[in-house]
Amino acid sequence: MMQCFHFMVEPAKTLTAKIKESHKKAKKDKCEPLDEDQQFVAELARDLSRVCQKSAVLEHIWKQDDTWPPSLCRAFILQWASILESKQKRPMQTDGWPKMEEFEQTAMLNTQDLLQARIAMLKWMKDLRAQPEQSVWPGEPVEKVLEDLQSAWRWGRMPNLLTAMELVMWTFMIQCPDKDTIPQQWLMWKQRTQKIAIPYIPQPWDWISDAAGEVNLDLDTANPDLLISANDKKMRCGFERKDVPNYHQRFDGWWCAVGVEGLGSGCHYWEAEVGERDWRLGVAKESALRKGFKSLNTDTGYLTLRLERGTELKALTVPFTALPPSLIPRKVGIFLDYDHGQLSFYDVDKRCHIYTYNESFAEKLFPLFGTVEIVKDLVIKSPLAKTQCLCPLPCLSG
């Protein structure tokens, strides 16, 4: 028996030794000196954490638990230097924040430009360091989001704490007496400046789903090949084309249908469970042509996401925008903010952003659904709002 016990203990000791050796190596790697840009970001995180209450999550950055790659640090410095410069020229409101094109230009900047960006940031950090410790209260919603982000980072649902740094920066920079709106404003800005793949959507997800409403398929628009359930919530392709009136609003090429109600203002959210083959989701403008097999893209009045051949996910811009296969969802959330010109797609299960269209809308938009599945239904989900919210998103111009 003792011999057997000895046999069982030896592997455990070996495993413990390996774990300790791994920890030693990790600690050694962690102590490697940061380059100049990494050190700059770490010092900024320390300064922000000192002044802002409830921002202990930033300790992971300046204590090197979360060390960003040098390229990410440079991009962050360039971006926020540009924002600081814009705030000096215009009032500190979100309609004055740089657009995506301005950030794309920063990728071409040279070493001298990066140096100038650091100088601009240092001037701001000098004022930051003059403020008393724990003198800025970020607001309870921001505090909850920071806690959520820390948890998501620890569990590996987000690659780094960039979002946490951004939210604390927003707290300092936006002249907004109602701090409750800061997380929502951050997400809207993020989707405007980074249309593709925000890997994790924090606490603001609650007010996205608060905009949920009923969406039912309009039978008069459904392709004759489609089989529609009795509750107008499910659709799939049949084997025989139905003999139905060929209304001008009916799809007779692509296997699509739209919702009954056109959306012309406010915020709206709905979900769809999709199959593993081809599907398309989004909105169709009221004036969009529905006949034939012409491409359903931004040139023809459609803002859509499409899966082709089960592996190719695309936003049907012109030309189309290819999206990574890792973003292919099983349940898609669609959020329309008509008044502020955003149509966003989310992976509901992973709570991550997939893609956002930014456009000024001038006509009614109809929820669009398309499938080629003959066995599995595409199912429209209309999650009930958690609260009655008259204005689920804050007013945000730009």
pLDDT tens-digit map of 181-226 = 888 888 998 898 888 888 899 887 888 888 999 999 999 999 999 9
Question: Are the beta carbons of 280 and 256 closer than 8 angstroms?
Answer: yes
The single-letter code of the amino acid at 218 is: D
Question: Are the beta carbons of 158 and 149 closer than 8 angstroms?
Answer: yes
Beta strands in the chain (DSSP E): 226-228, 234-237, 256-258, 267-273, 279-285, 302-308, 312-315, 321-323, 331-337, 342-347, 352-358, 365-371, 378-381
Question: Are the beta carbons of 170 and 186 closer than 8 angstroms?
Answer: yes
What's the pLDDT tens digit per position in 8-63?
A: 444 544 554 554 455 445 544 555 788 999 999 999 999 999 999 999 999 999 99
Question: Are the beta carbons of 234 and 275 closer than 8 angstroms?
Answer: no
Query: CA-CA distances (angstroms) from residue 135 to 50, 55, 130, 177?
Result: 9, 12, 11, 16
pTM of the predicted model as reported, rounded to 2 decimal places: 0.82
Q: How far apart are CA 167 and CA 24, in angstroms?
A: 33
Segment 53-77 mean pLDDT: 95
- Domains in the chain (CATH in brackets) are 36-197 (no CATH), 209-381 (2.60.120.920)
Residue 2 binned pLDDT confidence (cut-offs 50, 70, 90): very low
**The pLDDT value given to residue 21:** 52
Q: How far apart are CA 250 and CA 289, in angstroms?
A: 10
Token pair for residue 145?
A: 């989001």
